[in-house]
Structure 1
């Protein structure tokens, strides 16, 4: 069965598109192509590609299996028709339960649903935003519930006086309107609060390095993998580093980089080990030099040049790097999304903080330093990791209690055995020989004479 797919523009071909999507007839499909390029600059390329990968199966399904009144649904149909198709896809392809509620739908994942339901809905919402912005979709966004926003707005602006607007809060005559973000999604995923994954295997990086060795990773892939585990950065934040990013820090173990949503502005830094510094410089001055058109070493490179190059001498992209990562994981049968290296880093840093800090004040200070380093927008994110360590602390304390109980039980049983031995091995002869101890075998002989 043919599917929607995408290909990058070949080297040497001039095109305004760096990526082109093809439909299931192998014809260029511009709506998805335009959406991808509209996303670039608004979100990072890895996120734009992630959206693309969520949308391709839906558009394949739309062409082959969708049905509305006996006809296939087209992407540019009216919002009502598009919503019916999406609802069918959620239920039949993603094993979700969809429940009607006034002007929108509640979506519940089941144990058969993939983890990408939320991302799929976000991607589709983004797709129609782009096509409306580009004036290629003439209707309202099917993924937006305009009625809910209007009704919520009315509820929060109508005052207690009949047919009068809400008074300003400084008037003190009525309760202030609640300040909360109004959700505008037509499909509302419920019970889907994001939780970071906790990865506690301290040997995980070394398993990945061995997988890379088995898959014949070049030094470039080794350096990137080490940076991911040692810095807690997102893959794109490492892959898109420039020579200037590395030079901009006073320490050789650091590099400046962008953050999610910073629009390429360098707002944070990464710190890595001395061993990785050695490998990085070895890569730049030897392996990278081979693919640089001017065969330049580190000192001769301009700040704007990328740290990591392809074998064609072009800047390394996330998809090109992921190909090598994915090969290594498959080779060693490891199921590991690159983003999990970030969760591993946070888990490991927190473990180190709890194990080495001497006071509660020191723990809190070092946690705040970690939050600033990792650049979390929501500081409450760390609470989920802390909950993990609370559970780990309980497990350790509980294990200690169980070990103590087992030891006490052993001591008790040994004590009981000793009592029985004393009773069976010490006998007192009646008569004038009260203090004489008799051996077990002699006692048996005496008992047999009775």
Structure 2
């Protein structure tokens, strides 16, 4: 195709994000110059071939005027928008996926233990506890919480909800977070707003009604707006002594992934997971609604990535069971399903209780299927006949 791909190396003086911004700025500069009649040539940052190819594909797209939720359009509007037209292109990284190790039950439990310890600690400030409660109960991003405004929190008087600045919303408070179901969240917010914020407010105002709606809800001790960088400083100061409670290291952003994972587990159980009456239709519809209304994802397919990681958890669980069997010298061979079950010797699938340690002279009993046993028996008979001769 009519493009040039840029590969970054260790010697590249600019970050990948910086190059993307520079390319976009230059592309828009030439676009404006051409529209104003001040540049008579083709846009050097766009490929005329790719532009024509994109227009032709959109022209022939099935049901191109339909919205995404109708499910009849040939591709989503986001996929159409992302069709490349740039002449200079950077190699795209692989699609993001949740880290499967952090999806396992022991890690999820460890994350909850660390957060619970922080919330119970007298060394963690009231402000940080309020932020942690919101992160844990809403699945919001860190910057959405710490940059919340007074007006966004007041939310026109609707309790248990708040308006925050979503990723890619250009500073507009267009995303709603919900926390009415957990009373500890509101208790933590009330404690901060009544006990701490008035001390840091430059004008010592105690009522939010007297504060400008555009003012930040969370303040530093100097009265300046709180920031993700400031929260991380406090986070790592308290996290260092608690990280041994979790098998792997994690960050505040992992609370967002935990929120989605735990919700999907509960939704599957609600729909009858593990029974003969699993309601797949209800699961898929509620899962999609969760992604669009609670997480506010623009793409309806983002939730699929998390569901695939849930399938990967089963793989790791089976692997762990197998490795535990190896440590206890238990081995199993898959039986021939065509054989009668009474003819097959098989090791139970459950892990036996730990017994006495095996000594060097201990005999290890191998469980074999019926076909292998018949083969061994025939070999023994042949050996016996040869000895009789």
TM-score tier (shorter): 0.5 to 0.7
How many angstroms apart in 1 are the aligned matches of 2:156 and 2:91?
43
SS in 2 for 1:122: helix
Q: Please show how residues 92-111 of structure 1 align to structure 2 within 5 Å.
A: 104-105=4-5, 107=7
Partner of 1:385 in structure 2?
A: 306
SS in 2 for 1:182: coil
CA deviation profile, 1:363-403 (whole Å, cap 9, x unmatched) = 12321221121011111111111112233456778999999
CA deviation profile, 1:239-285 (whole Å, cap 9, x unmatched) = 12123222226653321222112223322221232112111101110
Counterpart among 130, 148, 151 of residue 244 in structure 1: 151
Q: TM-score, normalised by structure 2?
A: 0.59
CA contact (8 A) 1:211 1:328 kept: yes
CA contact (8 A) 1:228 1:235 kept: yes
SS in 2 for 1:294: coil
**Greater RCO structure (CA 8 Å; 6+ sep):** 2
Assess, with a 3 A threshold, how the Cα gap between structure 1 residues 410 and 285 changes in structure 2: closer, same or farther. Answer: closer
Residue 336 of structure 1: how far off its partner (Å): 2.9
What's the C-alpha RMSD, in Å, of the aligned pairs? 4.4
CA contact (8 A) 1:237 1:257 kept: yes
SS in 1 for 2:136: helix
Number of residue pairs matched by the alignment? 284
Q: Please show how residues 159-170 of structure 1 align to structure 2 within 5 Å.
A: none
How many angstroms apart in 2 are the aligned matches of 1:382 and 1:350?
9
How many angstroms apart in 2 are the aligned matches of 1:325 and 1:216?
12
Counterpart among 164, 185, 209 of residue 276 in structure 1: 185
Counterpart among 221, 241, 244 of residue 311 in structure 1: 221
Instruction: Indicate the larger mover: 318-327 or 369-378.
Output: 318-327
Q: TM-score, normalised by structure 1?
A: 0.52
Partner of 1:120 in structure 2?
A: 15
Assess, with a 3 A threshold, how the Cα gap between structure 1 residues 221 and 369 changes in structure 2: closer, same or farther. Answer: same
Partner of 1:264 in structure 2?
A: 171
CA contact (8 A) 1:215 1:327 kept: no
Partner of 1:13 in structure 2?
A: none
How many angstroms apart in 2 are the aligned matches of 1:352 and 1:258?
28
SS in 1 for 2:15: helix
How many angstroms apart in 1 are the aligned matches of 2:219 and 2:270?
40
How many angstroms apart in 2 are the aligned matches of 1:296 and 1:187?
52
How many angstroms apart in 1 are the aligned matches of 2:221 and 2:6?
48
Counterpart among 246, 250, 253 of residue 339 in structure 1: 253
SS in 2 for 1:269: strand
Q: Which runs of 5+ in 1 are unaligned?
A: 1-100, 136-144, 159-165, 171-177, 414-450
CA contact (8 A) 1:285 1:297 kept: yes
Counterpart among 176, 196, 199 of residue 287 in structure 1: 196
Assess, with a 3 A threshold, how the Cα gap between structure 1 residues 241 and 408 changes in structure 2: closer, same or farther. Answer: closer
Residue 221 of structure 1: how far off its partner (Å): 1.0
SS in 2 for 1:407: coil
How many angstroms apart in 2 are the aligned matches of 1:262 and 1:106?
29
SS in 1 for 2:348: helix
Partner of 1:151 in structure 2?
A: 49
Runs of 4+, deviation exceeding 6 Å: 131-135, 212-215, 394-404, 408-411
CA contact (8 A) 1:259 1:267 kept: yes
CA contact (8 A) 2:148 2:218 kept: yes
CA contact (8 A) 2:3 2:89 kept: no
CA contact (8 A) 1:246 1:256 kept: yes
CA contact (8 A) 2:205 2:211 kept: no
Q: Does 1:231 align with 2:138?
A: yes
How many angstroms apart in 1 are the aligned matches of 2:210 and 2:225?
14
